[in-house]
Structure 1
Amino acid sequence: MEHNPQGRPIPQEAFDWYDEYAHGLIDRRTFLAKLSGLTALGFSMSMLGTALIPNYALAAQVSFNDASIKATYQTFSSPKGYGECQGYLVQPSELNEQAAVVLVVHENRGLNPYIKDVARRLAKHGFIAFAPDALYPVGGYPGNDDDGRAMQKELDKTKLEEDFIAAARFAKALPNSSAKLGAVGFCFGGYIVNMLAASMPDELDAGVAFYGTPPAEALRDKVKGPLMLQFAGLDTRVNNTWPDYEAALKANKANYRAFTYDDINHGFHNDSTGRYARDEAEQAWTRTLDFFEKHLLEKTVKTLVM
């Protein structure tokens, strides 16, 4: 947890207010007014902003110049969505055989540098990673989260979902793809992974949803997995949606695993903000990679052996 210069932790309320602001439950003016109330306790607005607002330089675990990967931008068609769309495609440089593909889905603000880095991490691990930018049809991620969030909020949700379905099918059919498809998403992206698991259950081979809400209730009986769900213990907004969703998964006899990491906030995997929880993020990411290896690679090996 972030601390002020006197060593006192930033109150949990500040993280809760940021979550409300980031998800449109309060506006920017209200968010800043709430934060200003903490200055009487010795917390400067500058220090609070540093703890809460992303600093994407901190998320560069894999350089875009890393020689072991190759990154390009690829357009794809979404006839039922916004038409022409674009994503960030990252592959291992020395790809001598087909590889499993993982769709990487951003939060509610477009394809920011943190999500691009997640795609590079997957490629560094040997997967083909494809990270669509939902904002491409309206100019692309604008370079800051506030504008990106406002832009994405104005998009038609149904068309947006169709764009990610089209992206998943585009990625699965890439020339170097083994036709094994995984998806990992964060926040809004976690919702999209759940939506894909319900909308294309026979095409998605493994999905990992970080603090994502469930798909539409009418679709939940179609989810069969494999699915991994990662929750933050302090994330009451998302966690309150889990019991009903889990009941549906149990009724479906779906293949799923769920993990809750205690005493951490929504967004704990995002290493560009004060919500980042290093130990839990590393554990959750190791579980993610192991899950993809099990469901995207083992079957491919067995097929080659046969």
Structure 2
Amino acid sequence: MSVQDDQIPAAPASPPRRGFLGATLATGFALAVRPVAASTITTDSVGLTAGAITIAVNGGDMPAYRARPATGQGPLPVVIVVQEVFGVHEHIQDVCRRLAKLGYLAIAPELYFRQGDPRKYPEVADLLKNIVSQVPDEQVLSDVDATVNYAVANGGDPARLALTGFCWGGRIAWLYAAHNPRMKAIAVWYGQVLQPSTANSPKSPLDLVAQMKVPVIAFYGGKDQGITQENVGKMRAAMDAAGKSFELHVYPEAGHGFNADYRPSYNAEAATDAWQRMLGWFHKYGV
């Protein structure tokens, strides 16, 4: 199974509103990715405070998953984790626990919560049509702002803020680098850099290079069928020409979703190298 950001269709004129999650987050994996692969990594919560929280945002209380060390001196460095196309399902929750084991306060907001439950769609095409295409970029950026504010108000260090995003969230990570100068570092995992403009997603990351305010490290697969090497090259050239602080790494033998250890797309060598580079990037900028 391959999931590409550029498969997202244009939104209808009057999207339905289906507030559903309330104050909870489900456990487990989204239906669209089952059965999960034997390579799935499971990180325990020993020594952590981990579980569902809510964050006040426009339109209600947004569910989120938080993981942090259970003990130790604060304030803690913060990493906001922006979900894949499948929402804050088990893999994204596990990423938060991995970061918490390293001493971070990690929070993954459920950014589709107004539109519906991505875990319940067995077909990716239906998920993209009925939920993902309905989510406005402006709303997402505002919700991530609220998540950052929550983190700072609840044990996070305002001087040590980072963000990472995967797949759909990788594109959001690029957008956020142009949006919030409070962040010290951002890591993009195979996020689309150029896609057709829609009412809900009017700008591509490539359109916003001049506005980038945060150092970015980005990771792409050389065999990605949805994010072409031509477009990755355009992003690299534009960031270079604009004099931005960034690194862009391409793993020739990896495809899209190479960090998704629960899926056949997983490439352990690329994922391990990119994870260490991400941590090094955060440390370089004091997070």
Classify the TM-score, shorter chain: 0.7 to 0.9
Q: Is the 8 A contact 2:62 2:113 kept in 1?
A: yes
Measure the CA separation in 2 of the matches of 1:190 and 1:267: 11
Question: Cα gap change, 1:216/1:275 in structure 2, threshold over 3 Å: closer, same or farther?
Answer: closer
**Any idea what the Cα deviations from partners look like across 1:265-293, whole Å, max 9, x if unmatched?**
10000000111011111111111122222
The Cα of 1:295 is off from its aligned counterpart by 1.7
Measure the CA separation in 2 of the matches of 1:230 and 1:257: 9
Query: Which protein has the larger Cα radius of gyration, Structure 1 or Structure 2?
Result: 1
* Counterpart in the other structure of 2:47: 68
More helix by share: 1
Q: In structure 1, what residue type is equivalent to 2:64?
A: G
**Any idea what the Cα deviations from partners look like across 1:230-274, whole Å, max 9, x if unmatched?**
010111432332233223312331111111111211000000011
Are 1:174 and 2:164 matched, yes or no?
no
> Which secondary structure does the structure 1 equivalent of 2:226 belong to?
helix
Are 1:235 and 2:224 matched, yes or no?
yes
The Cα of 1:126 is off from its aligned counterpart by 0.7
* Counterpart in the other structure of 1:108: 85
Q: Please point out which of 194, 198, 204 is paired with 2:178.
A: 198
Higher relative contact order (CA 8 A, sep 6+): 2
Gaps of 5+ in 1: 1-14, 26-51, 298-306
The Cα of 1:225 is off from its aligned counterpart by 2.9
Measure the CA separation in 2 of the matches of 1:20 and 1:100: 31
Measure the CA separation in 2 of the matches of 1:128 and 1:91: 5
The Cα of 1:226 is off from its aligned counterpart by 1.5
Q: Is the 8 A contact 2:6 2:192 kept in 1?
A: no
Question: Cα gap change, 1:218/1:280 in structure 2, threshold over 3 Å: closer, same or farther?
Answer: closer
Measure the CA separation in 1 of the matches of 2:206 and 2:215: 19
Question: Cα gap change, 1:176/1:249 in structure 2, threshold over 3 Å: closer, same or farther?
Answer: same
Q: Is the 8 A contact 2:185 2:285 kept in 1?
A: yes
Matches within 5 A, 1:3-152: 18-19=2-3, 23-24=7-8, 55=36, 58-63=39-44, 66-79=45-58, 82-143=59-120, 146=123, 148-149=127-128, 150-152=130-132
Q: Is the 8 A contact 2:216 2:246 kept in 1?
A: yes
Q: In structure 2, what residue type is equivalent to 1:275?
A: S
Q: Please point out which of 228, 242, 246 is paired with 1:256.
A: 246
Are 1:281 and 2:271 matched, yes or no?
yes
Q: Is the 8 A contact 2:85 2:168 kept in 1?
A: yes
**Any idea what the Cα deviations from partners look like across 1:80-117, whole Å, max 9, x if unmatched?**
xx443221111111132211100001112211111110
* Counterpart in the other structure of 2:13: none
Are 1:213 and 2:192 matched, yes or no?
yes
Q: Is the 8 A contact 2:4 2:256 kept in 1?
A: no
> Which secondary structure does the structure 1 equivalent of 2:114 belong to?
helix
Are 1:271 and 2:248 matched, yes or no?
no
Q: Is the 8 A contact 1:110 1:152 kept in 2?
A: no
**Any idea what the Cα deviations from partners look like across 1:191-236, whole Å, max 9, x if unmatched?**
1110010011x21110000011234454321114311010101114
Identity fraction in percent: 25
Q: In structure 2, what residue type is equivalent to 1:237?
A: G
* C-alpha RMSD of the superposition: 2.5
Q: Is the 8 A contact 1:109 1:145 kept in 2?
A: no
The Cα of 1:162 is off from its aligned counterpart by 2.5
Measure the CA separation in 2 of the matches of 1:116 and 1:62: 9
> Which secondary structure does the structure 1 equivalent of 2:282 belong to?
helix
